[in-house]
Amino acid sequence: MTVRLARATTKVRVVFLKTEPMAVRMKTKIVLLGPPGSGKGTQGEKLSEEFGYVRMSTGDMLREAVRKGTDLGIKAKGYMDSGALVPNDLIINLMKEKIASLAEGTGIIFDGFPRTVEQADALGEQIDVDLALNLDVDDEELVKRLTMRRSCPQCNAVYHLLYNKPQNERFCDKCGSVLYQRDDDKEDTVRNRLKVYRENTFPLIDYYDKKGKLVTIQGVGDINEIFDKVKKAIQ
Ligand code: ADP
Ligand code: ADP
Ligand code: ZN
């Protein structure tokens, strides 16, 4: 991995990025906004693969905690099963620790965090967010995507049975694990998650817009074409 020095307007940052030409100007602390199913995981994974960002997905962390039966997992499970948000204090403590464990200047993609204004305020106290990337997708498309999403329990890759098929329907292309359907990707829970998104997370679009950090990208269409737009936004 190449370590580059990037000069921002006020301070020098070390950015852990793999590619050369864009590295000097690239944003290092990026929040992916957008409703469940808008492609945050898909685009975040591509950014991480191509440029070496650390992807921090609170959803992946919570599912791992549930699988391992940790204290956090036990507390979070009921909320996740119903599509509700896990309480702010649990999430904020979790993320504070994770962020503090990374070297300053590490390029980070936040996927699924913050999801409330309280979480966004807490994040802002710890780091400066450079960019909030909002993926815009309408509800009916989101339902189609989520109900046919398949996820890898091992490496967290995501697929879609029609739009983004694995080579073999049952197995992860990247690590060979058996794919599964998340319990909260059933239609009733999906609709509840969309409602929870509108009430709690949607206001963050305005929140980051007011700070001059927001870029909205249409999240419908070819995954690679969307990725091209994402790459432009992070420069
Ligand atoms: P999020 O992390 O925002 O919940 P995902 O990245 O997991 O979203 O994507 C949700 C589902 O939609 C997955 O099944 C994924 O393969 C699929 N998907 C992602 N981007 C697109 C796209 N541009 N067009 C069609 N399907 C997509
Ligand atoms: P999606 O990729 O479909 O947007 P996630 O994997 O990010 O969903 O989240 C799954 C579930 O985990 C959420 O429905 C919620 O219960 C919980 N969760 C994830 N991130 C947060 C967060 N930042 N705050 C509160 N709850 C969260
Ligand atoms: Zn995998």
- The pLDDT tens digits of the residues spanning 111-128 come to 999 999 999 999 999 999
Is 55 among the residues known to form the active site?
no
In a domain? residue 100: yes
Contacts of 194 (CB under 8 A, 6+ apart): 35, 36, 139, 142, 143
Q: Is the CB of 34 under 6 A from ligand 2?
A: no
Say if residues 188 and 4 touch (Cβ distance below 8 Å). no
pLDDT at 136 over 90: yes
Q: For the domain that residue 217 is a member of, what is the CATH number? A: 3.40.50.300
pLDDT of residue 184: 95
Atom of ligand 1 lying closest to residue 38 CA: 3
Is 13 among the residues known to form the active site?
no
What is the distance in A from the centroid of ligand 2 to the CA of 112?
6
Peptide bond into 203 cis (omega under 30): no
In which domain, by residue range, is 131 found? 4-139+201-229
Mean pLDDT value of segment 217-232:
98
In a domain? residue 207: yes
Contacts of 19 (CB under 8 A, 6+ apart): 50, 51
What is the distance in A from the centroid of ligand 2 to the CA of 20?
33
pLDDT of residue 23: 58
pLDDT, one tens digit per residue, over 141-175 is 999 999 999 999 999 999 999 999 999 999 999 99
CA dist., res. 101 & res. 161, Å (int): 36
- The two tokens of residue 210 are 């007011």
Q: Name the amino acid, one letter, at 65.
A: A
In a domain? residue 116: yes
Name the region of 192 (left: φ>0; alpha: ψ -120 to 50; beta: rest). Answer: alpha
Is 170 among the residues known to form the active site?
no
Instruction: Give the global pTM.
Output: 0.91
Catalytic residue chosen out of the listed positions 40, 63, 150, 213 = 40
In a domain? residue 55: yes
In a domain? residue 41: yes
In a domain? residue 212: yes
If you average pLDDT over every residue of the chain, what do you get? 91
| Ligand nearest to the CA of residue 98, numbered in listed order | 2
Going by C-alpha positions, the residue among 204, 173, 182, 234 that lies closest to residue 48 is: 234
In a domain? residue 185: no
pLDDT, one tens digit per residue, over 75-125 is 999 999 999 999 999 999 999 999 999 998 899 999 999 999 999 999 999
CA separation (Å) from 77 to 34, 70, 87, 184, 197?
23, 11, 11, 11, 18
Atom of ligand 2 lying closest to residue 36 CA: 4
pLDDT, one tens digit per residue, over 6-40 is 333 333 344 455 544 445 579 999 999 999 999 99
pLDDT of residue 25: 73
Residue among 58, 80, 146, 159 to mutate when testing ligand 2 (max atoms within 8 A of CB):
58
Q: Is the CB of 193 under 6 A from ligand 2?
A: yes
In a domain? residue 150: no
What is the distance in A from the centroid of ligand 1 to the CA of 90?
26
Question: Atom 5 of ligand 1 has which residue's CA nearest to it?
Answer: 39
Number of structural domains in the chain? 1
